[in-house]
């Protein structure tokens, strides 16, 4: 197994520097392209793949539909808000114009895996059947994030939200067949990597530790360099707004860190236990999503992944002040990780409530990304984010009709404001379309001859 970090071999002009270390990476600056992380690139494109666990509460085995919109076709704020009481995707209504919802997408068929969650995670971004049994399923090809990143000479940013140490942990990103990449589960470590505050071993540097101890921001390290930059007359008013938003975003991330980690040695396990798993997983997911947006807006990597929960997710969510049963158990509708156990009362309703929590977390990412920009304009004109799950539904672990939400359209290449039915097409063809939307070559991905026309303008 391997752990990779994004290729940060960018010009030093793309950073504000202070206190002898790289402090703050710079976003796109139209007035000072020589100090921009984008340099002369006019059309950089990015892809973010998010895979949750345990499926969604869609129609299955007599249970009513609680996930998809009520009607195929155009999405609007009004139609999605009208669905929001009954269908959890309605909670994304404010961003209807950026969304593409695709039903009728399946994993490769014709075989029965011994462990659906592990196999589902493996196939989620590879688009080809996994090999190996139980929780040791592995890939027979690279995942889409690596195809994109390599096309532009880099490596992906691979992230994780949730407690590790369970039956199925990392299973999402593969650099090659069988080469699993362990994702970073500590957003503080992600922050250290992106700001250059990690030491030679990858841990927090002495400067990073002092910032935590003194409750200071990385922005404080670069105040002098920032003042010189702001005094440059070539800086446009839009550039000043971008810088302000960028620095504010970093500070916002820093201020959220103490609620989930931010011990000087990484994850603070005692703090995690004191706030409970239900707070931990969603807080970390939000931070990892924000940090990915920052990384894209500073051109630090072209692709990223987020595994949102373990394959057999043991998170205990709180709904209306009540701590629910373990999520994986709820998804199976029984108190057990297998096929036997006592029934959980109102399990389908509880699963739907957890879906709504996840959609609210996803909305925070859409809100944040809507404020970021690249040379093309708003980040969503240069990047997509795809959200899905390892399986379609919990009770059966089905690989058919996977939940697919795509936000953004790099270069205008993806349909938006639509809910469409792909009619049973493979996720490999969908992934091929997403790869090609970034400008990377998807012709050899998962042995596909082409992508899904339904998601191309």
Q: How far is CA 309 from CA 58, 136, 351, 384, 399, in A?
A: 19, 17, 14, 21, 18
Q: Residue 288: left if φ>0, alpha if ψ -120 to 50, beta else—which one? A: alpha
DSSP 310-358: -TT-----EETTEEPSPHHHHHHTBSSSSS-SPBPTTHHHHHHHHHHHH
Give the residue from 246, 374, 358 showing the smallest Cα distance to 306: 358
Under the banding of pLDDT at 50, 70 and 90, the label for residue 272 is: very low
Range in 83-87, 264-268, 356-360 the model is least confident about: 264-268
437 in Cβ contact with 47 (< 8 Å):
yes
Report the alpha-carbon distance of residue 12 to residue 107 in Å, rounded: 43
**Mean pLDDT confidence for 349-362:** 97
* DSSP letter (8 states) at residue 58: -
Position 85 pLDDT exceeds 50 = yes
pLDDT at 303: 98
Range scoring the smallest mean pLDDT among 8-22, 224-238, 424-438: 8-22
Tokens of 87: 């269908």
Tokens 């340099």 sit on residue = 39
Q: Which pLDDT score is estimated for 276? A: 45
Q: What integer best gives the mean pLDDT of the chain?
A: 87
The dihedral of CA 310, 408, 92, 364: what is its sign?
positive
- Order of strands across the sheet with 383-389? 73-74, 418-426, 99-106, 405-407, 383-389, 46-52, 303-308, 157-161
How many contiguous H segments (helices) and E segments (strands) does the chain have? Answer: 13, 14
- What is the CATH code of the structural domain delimited by 12-455? 3.40.720
Paired tokens of 19: 């206190």
Whether the Cβ atoms of residue 441 and residue 151 lie closer than 8 Å to each other: yes
Which strand (E) or helix (H) includes residue 287?
A: helix 277-297
Q: What is the pLDDT of residue 49?
A: 98
Q: Provide the pLDDT for residue 65.
A: 97
Identify the pLDDT of residue 25: 82
C-alpha 69/C-alpha 359 separation (Å) is 14
pLDDT of 198 strictly over 90: no
Looking at residues 236-243, what average pLDDT do you find? 91
- What whole-number distance in Å separates Cα of residue 434 and Cα of residue 437? 5
Residue 253 scores a pLDDT above 60:
yes
- The whole-number pLDDT of residue 63 equals 94
How far apart are alpha carbons 327 and 338 in whole angstroms?
A: 13
Residue 20: its pLDDT value, please?
60
Q: How far apart are the C-alpha atoms of 164 and 123, rounded to whole Å?
A: 20
* DSSP code, position 447: G
Residue 449's pLDDT is 58
Report pLDDT digits (tens) over 305-336.
999 999 999 899 989 989 899 999 999 999 99
Burial 247-257 (b: 16+ CB within 10 A, else e): bebbeebbebb
Res 228 pLDDT > 50: yes
* Predicted pLDDT at 283: 87
The answer to whether 308 touches 161, Cβ cutoff 8 Å, is: yes
Predicted confidence (pLDDT) per residue in 4-24, tens digit: 545 544 444 577 877 666 567
- If one compares 434 and 29, the residue with the highest pLDDT of the two is 434
pLDDT at residue 179, rounded to an integer: 97
Percent of the chain residues topping a pLDDT of 70 = 88
Q: What is the DSSP letter of 223?
A: H
pTM of the shown model: 0.91
pLDDT for residue 250 is more than 90: no
């Amino acid at each position: 197994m391997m752990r990779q970090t994004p290729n940060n071999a960018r010009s030093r002009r793309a950073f504000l520097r202070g206190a002898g270390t790289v402090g703050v990476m710079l976003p796109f600056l139209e007035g000072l392209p020589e100090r921009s992380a984008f340099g002369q690139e006019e059309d950089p494109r990015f892809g973010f793949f998010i895979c949750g666990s345990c499926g969604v509460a869609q129609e299955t085995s007599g249970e009513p539909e609680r996930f998809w919109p009520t009607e195929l076709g155009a999405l609007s704020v009004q139609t999605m808000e009208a669905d929001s009481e009954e269908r959890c995707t309605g909670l994304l209504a404010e961003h209807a114009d950026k969304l593409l919802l695709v039903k009728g997408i399946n994993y490769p068929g014709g075989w029965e895996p011994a462990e659906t969650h592990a196999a589902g995670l493996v196939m989620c971004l590879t688009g080809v059947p996994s090999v190996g049994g139980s929780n040791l399923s592995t890939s027979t090809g690279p995942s889409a994030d690596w195809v994109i990143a390599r096309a532009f000479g880099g490596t992906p940013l691979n992230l994780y939200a949730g407690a590790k140490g369970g039956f199925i942990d990392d299973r999402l990103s593969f650099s090659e067949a069988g080469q699993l990449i362990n994702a970073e589960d500590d957003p503080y470590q992600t922050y250290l990597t992106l700001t250059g505050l990690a030491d030679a071993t990858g841990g927090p540097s002495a400067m990073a530790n002092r910032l935590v101890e003194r409750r200071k921001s990385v922005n404080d390290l670069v105040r002098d360099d920032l003042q010189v930059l702001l005094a440059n007359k070539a800086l446009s008013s839009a550039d000043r707004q971008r810088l302000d938003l960028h620095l504010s975003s970093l500070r916002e991330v820093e201020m959220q860190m103490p609620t989930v980690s931010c011990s000087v040695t990484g994850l603070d396990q005692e703090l995690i236990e004191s706030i409970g798993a239900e707070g931990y997983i969603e807080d970390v997911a939000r931070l990892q999503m924000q940090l990915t947006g920052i990384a894209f807006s500073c051109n630090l990597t072209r692709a990223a992944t987020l595994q949102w929960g373990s394959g057999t997710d043991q998170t205990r969510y709180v709904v209306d002040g009540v701590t629910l049963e373990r999520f994986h158990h709820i998804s199976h509708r029984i108190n057990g990780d297998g096929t036997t156990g006592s029934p959980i009362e109102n399990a389908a309703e509880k699963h739907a409530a957890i879906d709504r929590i996840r959609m609210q977390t996803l909305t925070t990412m859409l809100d944040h990304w809507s404020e970021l920009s690249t040379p093309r304009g708003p980040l969503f004109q240069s990047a997509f984010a795809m959200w899905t799950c390892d399986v379609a539904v919990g009770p059966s672990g089905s690989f058919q009709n996977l939940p697919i939400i795509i936000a953004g359209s790099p270069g205008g290449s993806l349909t938006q404001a639509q809910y469409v039915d792909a009619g049973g097409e493979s996720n490999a063809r969908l992934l091929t379309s997403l790869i090609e939307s970034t400008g990377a070559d998807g012709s050899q991905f998962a042995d596909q001859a082409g992508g899904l026309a339904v998601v191309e303008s």
